[in-house]
Structure formats: C-alpha cells, structure tokens
Chain A
Amino acid sequence: MPSVPTRSWPRRLRGSFRSAAFERAMEAELRHHLELETDALVAGGMPPSRARDVARQRFGSLAQVKDGCRESWGMRAIDTVSQDLRYALRTLRKYPAYTAVVLLTLALGIGANTAIFSVVRAVLLRPLPYANGDRLVELRQQAPKIGVERAGLSVKELTDYRAQTPALDAIVEYHQMSFNLLGHGEASRVQTGVVSPEFFDVLGVTPLLGRTFLAGDDGKNAPAVLILSYGYWQTALGGDRNIVGRTFEMNDRVHTVVGVLPPMPQFPDVNDVYMPPSACPFRSSAHAIDTRATRMLSAIGRVRAGATLEGAQRDLDVVSARLSAQYPEEYDVAHTGFRIAALSAHDELTREARPTLLVLLATTTFVLLLVAANVANLTLARVLGRERELAVRIALGAGRRRIARQMLTESALLALAGGALGLLVGWLLRDLLVAFMARFTPRAEEIAIDGPVLAFALGASILTGLLFGILPAFTGVRHRVAMTRCLTPGRALITAQVAIAFVLLVGAGLLVRSFVKLQQVDAGFLTDRVLTARLDLDFVKYTTAAMRREFYRSVLEKAAAEPGVQTAALSISVPLDQARACRTGFIMEGLAAPDRHAPPQVDFQFASPAYFKTIGMTLLSGRTFTDADTVEAPPVAIVNLSMARHHFPGADPIGRRVSLDEGATWVTIVGVVNDTHDYGLDAGPADELYLAFAQTAPLNATLLVRTAGDPTPFARRIPSVVRAIDPRQPISRIRTLEAIRRHSLAPPRLTAMLVSLFAVVALVITAAGIAGVVSLAVHQRTREISVRMALGASRAAVVRRIVWLGLTPVTTGLGLGFLGALLMTRVVTQLIFAVGPGDPLTYAAVIALLTSVAALACLAPARRAALMDPMRALRAD
C-alpha cells in the first residue's frame, strides 16, 4: 500500500468533530442515490411502489452502508472508545462492591499524595512569592570556633559590607522589636520589623494600599511612619481601606500609617508593623550606630542579576578577611573563626519543614504504590472471576487486543474517578495541612490546589491506572494460562504490599516511639496548673528601675491575693517557649581571666522569689531568692545543676562570685536548682544562671501564676488585675504552661500521627489484599481441596495448607521490607529522638504485627475452605 497522504489526518479529525453535519450529508447522498435508481426503474416501466423496493434491495442494508461510511470516514476510533467507555461503565455498575472499594482506596492514595504534593510545591518548590525571591540571601556573621552560629551585624559592619560586596546589589537591614501601640481600643503590644527604607523594594513587594518606605522616611528629623502587615491590618484594624494616613502613638511619638503590605509570608519573621531605622529608639541611638560590637541587625542581600550565591560568598569572604585584618582586636579571627555566610533565603525559610515534608512525601508515595498493588490485585481477582465472560467474548470474535484495551479503559476510568475523588480529599485536607505546616514554615499559607497540583493529581491517577491496569489486562487476555500461573502475579503483589507496609510501619513505629520518649522526658518543671502572661512595659513610661520595681511589686501582690492563686512569680520568659534565648559571657572570680573575646557562655534568666516554687523546680542546695534580695542588698544568683557541674566541678558553687559585665559587678551564687529543658524536650539542658528579678527590674516580664484548680478561668482575670494597676498596660500571650509544652511537642506529635495514620491504612489495605488473593486461591482450588478431603485430609491440614499458601509471599515481603526499611528509615533520623533508625524493638514489633495480621487475613478463607462439603463441591463440577 502506498503511503497515506498527510492531509487525511486533519480531515479525519475534523470529520469526527463534525459528526452531525456528516450524518446529514451522508443521509442526503444515499437518499439521492435511491431516488435516481427508483426513477431509472420507473423509466424502465416498473410501477413506482415496486421500483422503490427493488432500488432498496439492490442497495443492500442501509444501516450497514452507513456504518461502512462512518467507519471509512474515521469515526471508527472514536466510536470504539465510546463503546469501550459505555461497556466499562456497565461492567463497573455490575460490580458495585469492587468499584466502591477501588474508588475508595484510590481516592485515599491519590488524595494523600495530592495533599502532600501541594505542600511540597508551595513550600519547597515554588520560589518565594516576592519578585526577587530567588535572589535573596541572608547574611550571617559566625564565630564557629566559639560556637556562635548567628551573630547579628552592627551598623558599622552593615556599612562595610554594603560598600564592598559587588555581587550583592543591595543589602538591607532588619531587626525585630516589640513596642506598645496606642490609638485604637486597648493598648496593644506589636511586633515591629525595623527595616531599611528600601527593604520591600529589594524583596520585590508591592504594597496593597499606600506605599512602602522612601529614603526620606529614614532620618533624624523625618516624621515617624508605619507600614502595616496584612494580617495585623485585617485582625486588629478590621481591614479598614481608609487606614492610610491614620495615626498611632508609639514610643511617645505620633506615627502615621503610609501603607499596608499584601498577604505574603513575612521574612525573616512575622511582624504586625514595620518602621524605618530612625524610628526605632534603640537602633537610632548613638551607641548602636557607633559601636562596632553592638550587633543587633539581621542583613538580607540581593544577588546582582547575573551573579551567583557562590560569587556573593567569595565577595563576603574578602570583606570579612579585610575586617579581621583592620580590627584584629575586635574579630580575633584565630580564636573565633570569624566569618560571614550568605544563605539562600528560600532554604532558610523552609529548612525546618524540609525533613518532615520529605518523610511525608515518601510515605504517601509508598501508600500510592500500595494502593496500586492492591487495586491490581482486586482487578486481577475480578478478571479471573470473569473468565467465562471473557471466553464467550473471545469466542464471539472480540480481538484479544480489544479485550485488553477494554480492561485498560476500565482501569483508566476508575483511576480518573479515583483521582477526582482524591482531589476532593486533598482539598478537604488543605486547611489541616496549612495548620500543620504553619508550625514549620511561614510559607504554609501559600498551600493551594493550583494548576501544577491538578496536573500532579492527574498524572498520579494515570500512572496508578496504568500500574494496576496492565497486569490484569494481560492476564485477562491470556486467560487460558494454567491457574497456578495466574496466581503468581497475585502473590508477587502480596510480597510487594507486605514489603511496602513493612517500611511504612517501621517509619511510623520509630516516630511514635520517639514521640513517646519525648513525652517521657522530665522537663525539669511542672506544667500543670500554671498560667503565664507577657507584660512588656513601655520604656517611655517606665523610665526608671524604681518605677518598674513598683509596678512589678503591685502585680505580684495583686495576683497572689486573687482567690484560687497559690503563688505568683515573674521571670523574663518561660521554658520551652521559642523566644527564650538570653545568653551572655561571664567570668568567675578567682580564676585567671580567660580570653576576653571568648568567655564561657551561660543562659541567664531573671526570677522572682516564688518562681521556682511556681513552676515546680527543686532547690538542690543553698537557698532561693527572698524578698530580702532587693536592689539595696548584695546581688545574688542561683545556678542550675548543669552550670554547677560544668564550671564548678567537684566544688560547691555556693558563695562563689561571677560577673556578667567583665568584672564591673560581682554576683554571689546562693543556690543550685535542677536543670530544665528550655529549648525543647529533645534538646539537652543548657548552663543557666538566675538573677533576682527585683535586683534587675527589666522592661519585659512574664507573669506566672500557680492556681489551686484549673488555671483556665483565671486567664480572664489576669488583664483586669494588671489594668487595675496600669490601665494602659498591654497583656499578651496568656497561655498555660501545659499549652506551651504541648505546642512544643506538636510538630513531632502531628508527624507521628500522620505517618501512623498512613501506616495503618497501609496495613488494612495489605490485609485486604492478602485475604483477596487467598480467597481466590481457595476458590480456584475447590476441586483439589475437595479431593484431598475426600481422600481423608483433615480440616486442620487444609487450613494449614492454605494459610501456608498465603504466608509464603508474606515471608518474602517481610524480608524485602526489612531491607527496604533499613535503607529508607535514614530519612527519618533527623526527626527521631532517643531512638536509632535500626531500633530492634520497632522492627520486631512490626514483624510480629504484620505476620499476625497476614495470618488472620489467610485464616478466614482457609476456614471457609475447611468447612465446605467436599462431595457437594465435586458434584458441582
């Protein structure tokens, strides 16, 4: 045959789309033919009615001719597809149980994957939603030799880097403050981002309302201006569209709102409002501007178009070397290892989320594979059950390819429907996942079911459809193959399912064991019945330590007098709260002065006398603070056990003196208390030094109250207690200590729960798969079993034989799963605490669990086999 001219294809396609017009034209043409033939016959002398009949006769079957024409016109392909579809729909309706189970498992598998993929895409794959998101780097000064990973930058250093780093076309500063904002309702404490005027332009953020900062906003005499974050504008100001131009009082100055930011993940931190550097009383002080060592700023750089992160790092290395040479006293590079690192902002924003997400992605991928294997198994069983029907169809002339295609159509239909349901599942899971991911990354809000996610769901559906459709399609076509060989693919699928379930169960087991261990960690303090609230004093109002002391004294007195309150105390912060770190260098009296650039580091905390009692810490020796430790009395401190051991090994620290200000003042240690886990239950205790709250009287404080009963009702009383003393004092973050502890445990708990959920789903699917394959085996061996029983095999022997039949592939699966788990669980090492990835207990438990579930799954069909009447089964043949 010569080649087909190329233009026939487009025409063929056009033809199939124009089927109505095509039908009309064809009808007209054939009618015309019949009319001419009739006319010719009439002209030959035949009566018209008979002529019509003869013409029809000579023409042949009109319907057949039309079919022939349609087929020639290329509608054949389309018609077969729609026929396949109709047939598939009918078949699926005929097996509602099968269809429902398949759709449900597919929806679960595809839904879970779609949901997790939507998170991976939003958090890890998409560039930051700023115009310059992919060019932003965080600049971090480090002193690795003395354990400092992120020191800030001073104003002087910022100026140096700005001038000498050609690969960065902009470096902007950032630091976070917390100020009291007055001007609407109650005084509120606002997180304030203090940023260079060009900060938002460098990020590439366009304001929703008003404008971003201009160079003129930053200056000694510039009027104070504010930009509101979208979230704060919405929640605190009701999304007022006329907000630009409104004024608020802050730090004793009038601030005018000039703009509102769009909804976006805020970087580096979430803030309520933003102000330029000159508006921040601390940043604009001469001390901050002139002292090279006052490092309060973060720096964000933008890589010049065409330059790379590595190029920026090389430039920075040059500058830091130059600085070390210029100010050897200041940087002491030999001792500190001083350097500055450029880190991709995208990686920094998603660093915490990455390991968890990768584990979840691996988990859902495994679940989908398992789902595909299971559906393949179900479909295979159904194909073998439909053997008679298929045989009839082949006998009636249906081509084997056509039957295979028919089955693939069914699979595709199921997969697509399952995918659509899966999307629904994914969509329903979105809010949950946003809440979950918000604990790891500010990008959580960006999670959405968008185009690429839809494409992913479609791709996953098609792939799954192919995976589970191909095997049954081929088995169906080769339906004459011996039964035992038909069983082989089913058993291979069992092996695969068991192996996958094994890996998932081990992963879940490790996470759960790790979580249980975390929960058992003694935090070093008691969390029940303690309520905490932040009190941040306005530094423009409480200008002297005496004023602050007086305020704190009244608060403690009033709070302790409330009914139901056992003790009330003050500290700067509470353990397990993310904002805890206050670290300083110190020197010990009587020791040779250590290098002044690398003194030992200690966390410090201010505590009022009742602090230790309120949170249930134990005094190990010496005394706690008392009301006698006033500002007039000699300064005193209490150390924790860890500090006592590290710095006073084998000696009693009580009575020893330390200095936190290079020897200007000396503080006497009067007691030792137990260690607490401040940075998370998975992090070890740090060396800690407590100073007497009354001797320091800081601006920021946390009120802690131990109640006799449930502390939650008291939460509503705290604001009125404080406002009775100062009606304009903001109170924020009223939480129980237990809630803080739970919050710190939420990420591992949620991860363990999610993975366990998937693992349980995997176990159920696997059990169903095993039961299905064994049932089919029993069904197909009815005759063999009957003969054995008729020949005297005991029921127990029959059961044993069938259970054995099912357990052989299970054993292989366990072996493969064991190896797979050893390889795969490396992924979770970052997420587990106090449990090794090869934890023998977990492996043993998983083996026991899977084996017993598999045995149970085999037992039901085996019992059915043993209970059947052999004679009846034989007669039935």
Chain B
Amino acid sequence: MKQAKSDLLQGTLDLLILRTLASGDMHGWGISQRLQQVSQDVLQVNQGSLYPALYRLEQHGWIESSWGDSDNNRRAKFYRLTKAGRKQLAEETASWERIAAAVARVLQHA
C-alpha cells in the first residue's frame, strides 16, 4: 500500500518539475522556490525529496544538467528540459487532466 501512495506522489512531483523547467533553466533550490510560490504554499514537501526526482528524470533523459554560476557567484547545477522531456510533459499533462476531470466528475455525481 505504502508503495502505491508514494508512486502517486512521485508521478505528480515529476509532472510539476517538468512543468516548472518548461519556463526556463533552473537549479534545484530555484525549482523548490518556484513550486512553492506558484502553488501559493499549498505544495510544501521536504525540499530534499525534490532531488531523487530530479536524478530520476535525468536518468530518463527528460531533463539534462550542467554546472554553472548562480546569481551570487556560487557553482550550481542547472537543469534544462530536453526534447524528450517536453514530449513527456505534454503526455503527462494530458493524462493528469484526464484523471483530474474524471475525479472531479466522480466527486460531483457519485
């Protein structure tokens, strides 16, 4: 049971990361700040759990990373959405919307 719950969370987090990166290259902390801002503080996960997701997405080839200088002259690892990542984002967005709509219908009519 535990496995299934984390799978759902994981999938959602992956989608959010891909969506965030679609608007520009970012390092890990930047992504976490952006998620928090846009979701208006509703989605507040342990910032750390972001990283395993990033590594997994990179392994899938949906994002790629490179080291560069951040605003305050520190070395930082920046993530960028790849072509495959864009395709994946489109697919996952569509499937998320289908599920969300289905869940909404159930909530309304069941």
Contact = CB atoms under 8 A, between A and B. Distances in A.
A31 B24 CA distance: 22
Interface residues of B, number: 27
A8 B59 contact: yes
A485 interface: no
Contacts of B109: none
A272 interface: no
Task: Give chain A's interface secondary structure class.
Answer: helix
B44 to A, nearest CB: 9
Contacts of A30: 48, 51
B77 A25 contact: yes
A539 interface: no
Interface string A24-55: 01101110110111011000000000000000
Interface in B40-56: 46-49, 51-56
A39 B71 CA distance: 12
A68 B13 CA distance: 14
Contact of B29 (A32, A64, A65): A32
B77 A58 contact: no
A335 interface: no
A285 interface: no
Contacts of A61: 48
B61 A62 contact: no
B17 to A, nearest CB: 12
A59 B47 CA distance: 5
Contact of A32 (B27, B47, B55, B60): B27
Contact of B52 (A28, A36, A62, A69): A69
B76 A32 contact: yes
Nearest to A36: B29
Contact of A35 (B53, B59, B74): B74
B5 interface: no
B61 to A, nearest CB: 4
Task: Give chain B's interface secondary structure class.
Answer: helix
B105 interface: no
A21 to B, nearest CB: 12
A33 B55 contact: no
Nearest to A15: B59
A28 B65 CA distance: 14
B54 to A, nearest CB: 8
A71 B52 contact: yes
Interface in B58-86: 59-61, 70, 72, 74-77, 84
A73 B29 contact: no
B88 interface: yes
B47 A12 contact: no
Interface in A234-288: none
Interface in B80-97: 84, 88, 91
A73 B55 contact: yes
Contacts of B53: 72
A616 interface: no
A355 interface: no
A65 B49 contact: yes
A60 B60 CA distance: 25
A305 interface: no
Contacts of B32: 33
Contacts of B51: 26, 29-30, 33, 65, 68-69
Given A8-B60, A28-B75, A33 B52 contact: no
Query: 3 closest A-B pairs (Cβ-Cβ)?
Result: A68-B52, A60-B46, A65-B48
